[in-house]
Amino acid sequence: MPMELQVLSDHLEISDLQARYAEALESKDWSLLASCFTEDALVDYSASGGIKGTREQATDFLAQTIPLFSATFFVTANPQLTIEGDTAAGRTHFQTTMVLGDRGAASYLVAAGYYLDRYRRTDAGWRISERVEEPVFIDTFNPARATKG
């Protein structure tokens, strides 16, 4: 059965929201990051050692930790969404690569998993009202320490 035009539009808008979230993290634009969430959002990054709290607490936590890395790369993909009127639920893949140190002596932190989200349509568009991070793996790598086999 073909997807209704409104549902298709909602899927695209939520996918765009995910892209803005990744862009906010990469550009360290904390007001853009906060705008991805509803004012009353619950954000839970605790499964990977982060914070569980409000939109402001999560934004403050990321504003303190992300700048510690010399480069960051955030990807979201494969959103699986269930939309019911002005609310939605979804599971989206994420992969984060962060570089600590300078080229040649850098260490890399790579994390991947799922965002389990709830969304709400607001006057400003779709926003994340609840985000729970479910990591699949977190790994570090330092090429300077790697040995050839």
- Residue 149 tokens read as 């086999």
- Say what the pLDDT of residue 134 is: 98
Are the CB atoms for 71 and 28 separated by under 8 Å?
no
Strands 52-54, 37-44: parallel, antiparallel or unpaired by DSSP?
antiparallel
Q: Which residues are within 8 A (CB) of 5 and not within 5 positions of it... i.e. 6 or more apart? A: none
User: Is 76 part of any domain?
Assistant: yes
Convert the pLDDT of each residue in 28-87 to its tens digit: 999 999 999 999 999 999 999 999 999 999 999 999 999 999 999 999 999 999 999 999
Instruction: Please check the confidence at residue 149 and state whether its pLDDT lies above 90.
Output: no
User: Is 149 part of any domain?
Assistant: no
For the chain, how big is the Rg over CA atoms in Å? 17
Domain that holds residue 79: 5-144
How many domains is the chain built from? 1
Instruction: Please check the confidence at residue 145 and state whether its pLDDT lies above 90.
Output: no
User: Is 135 part of any domain?
Assistant: yes
Q: What is the mean pLDDT of residues 107-111?
A: 92
User: Is 110 part of any domain?
Assistant: yes
Q: Is 129 exposed, middle or buried (0-12, 13-18, 19+ CB in 10 A)?
A: buried
Here the CATH number for the domain that contains residue 118 is 3.10.450.50
